[in-house]
Structure formats: C-alpha cells, structure tokens
Amino acid sequence: MLKLGVNIDHVATLRQARYPGMLDTHNCEPDILAAASACERAGAHGITVHLRADRRHIQDADVFRLRERLQTRLNLEMGNTPAILAIALQVKPDEVCLVPESREEITTEGGLAVAGHEAALRPTVQRLREAGIRVSMFIEPDPAQIDASAALGAEMVELHTGAFANALGGDRQRELQRIVAAARHAHAAGLQVNAGHGINYENISLVVPVPHLADLNIGHAIVCRAVFVGLEVAVAEMLQRMGVGA
C-alpha cells in the first residue's frame, strides 16, 4: 500500500515568522506537535521534518519532542554535516533522508549528488545504519545516482519529483517517464522507492501509478490546503487522491 509522509516544515515556518530564534518552542504557535498529531489522526503514515543547519524552520527541540510523542514514523531530512548527524544519532528517528542543502535556497532545489561523493557520504550512512536508522538518499531520477546510493548501503531512495512538478505539456510527460524508469531501476537494485517534492492535489494522479512506489513525502501542498480546511481534512483529502483507505 502506498503510504503518505507529511512534511510539516512549513508549519514551523509560520511559527518562526512570529518567534524567530526561540529555543524553547513548546509555548509558540502553531505548535509542531499538535500539527503532527492532527496529521496522524487523519491517517498519515509518518511525519517528515528537515532540520537545516540554519534552523530556519524546524528547531532541535522540535525533533526531540516529535521522537518522544509520535505514534507513527519520524523521517528526518538532513544535510551531511557532523553537527546534524550528532543530533540524528541522539534522536534516533525511524528514517533519515540525506538531502542537499544550501543557505541561499528557499527550499531544496534538487537531488543529492551521491555519485562522485561516496567518500564523504559513506561514513554518515554507516553510522546511521549502525544506530538502527534506515537511510534514504534524496536523488534525481537518474540511474547513476541510484547505483551509487545502493553501493553506499542506503536502503531507500527518494526520487526528486520537482522537475516533473514544474514541467508543462510534453515536458511533464518526459519527466514522468524518467521517474518511472528510475523507480524500476531502483526496485531492481533492491531499494525501497519513495518520491517527493512539488507533488500536489492536481498532479498526484500522475504520480500514484508510478511502479514500486512505497512512500510519498508531501508538505507544502498539504499545509497550503490546511489554511482553508484544516490539517486533518487536508491530509484526508490527499490520502483520498492517493487511493488510500478508499
């Protein structure tokens, strides 16, 4: 069954607009734990957060609170930095997804360059796996990146769907076929296949039929919809579009 991980980073973005630099976040609105609980009540299979080096939205305290209270899976997105790795090893989320990270970007703009950077990534993957944390690589739908991820010992890849989401007409179909081919390649390599970035209530109908998909990680579209209908309804509507629980 296809599963939904809800990324709640932008709930924290709203909070930080009013409470920048706050280290003790439990009395700040909107409450991250309350948002995660609403997603779980609606049927989300996991919660995803990205602890960035600049702490622009999710804070360290959020990750520890979520680990303590979540009823579902915690998927921690992180850059390959010693400081964030140390936190991940303390928190021990169910899953870690290694992502590229730039201070200049507004949101993650592309996949991680695994091929060619194996030496830098291998110790991180090894330490996470030794701690019992499942490891995913957020990559472009490219065979070389898939093969490099498998060679490093990652158990999953998350295919970056941003180019597909931003494309129009024939370009969108071509990007979709890249994702389909990559999903088949990753599955053949023994990897769990996840996908995320730019998936919304309209284009998800094209993503759901992609073969071998296990998890979709969706955040921005759900948080935007929640402004009008609330998080529980927004999550339930996305699950319905995915055909989950129908």
**Domain extents in the chain:** 3-242
Q: Are 50 and 30 in contact (CB under 8 A)?
A: no
Tens digit of pLDDT for each residue in 161-181?
Answer: 999 999 998 999 999 999 999
Return the amino acid letter for 181.
Answer: A
Catalytic residue numbers, as ranges: 50, 77, 197
Fold of the CATH domain 3-242: TIM Barrel (3.20.20)
Tens digit of pLDDT for each residue in 184-225?
Answer: 999 999 999 999 999 999 999 999 999 999 999 999 999 999
Q: Which pLDDT band holds residue 28 (cuts at 50, 70, 90)?
A: confident
Provide the whole-model pTM: 0.94
Can you tell me the distance from the alpha carbon of 129 to that of 132, in angstroms, rounded to the nearest whole number? Answer: 5
Can you tell me the distance from the alpha carbon of 27 to that of 46, in angstroms, rounded to the nearest whole number? Answer: 24
Grouping H, G, I as helix, E, B as strand and the rest as coil, residue 222 is helix
Tens digit of pLDDT for each residue in 42-58?
Answer: 999 999 999 999 999 99
* Omega of the bond leading into 30 within 30 degrees of 0 (cis): yes
